[in-house]
Amino acid sequence: MDSVKIISENCKGCGYCVVVCPKKVLVIGESSNRMGYRYAVAARPDECISCKLCAVMCPDSAIEIFE
């Protein structure tokens, strides 16, 4: 199981999580959710160190972190 999980239906594709991640785990993906936003995805999930910075920054509480 990945340590970072994006709740894609709640993501609005703002890009904050992508930029604050120190390990460049996240990117804005190619698929759109029901609202029409291209949501963030974990492109390199194994690099995640569960620092939670992405989840702290997310305005939509769309990220869950596991350890």
Looking at the DSSP bridge assignments, the partners of residue 26 are: 42
- To other proteins, the closest distance from the beta carbon of 16 in angstroms equals 7
Identify residues 5-64 at the interface with other proteins (CB under 8 A).
9-10, 12-16, 19-20, 35, 37, 50, 52-53, 55-61, 63-64
Per the CB < 8 A criterion, the answer to whether 64 and 52 are in contact is no
Binding footprint of other proteins on the chain (CB under 8 A): 1, 3, 9-10, 12-16, 19-20, 35, 37, 50, 52-53, 55-61, 63-67
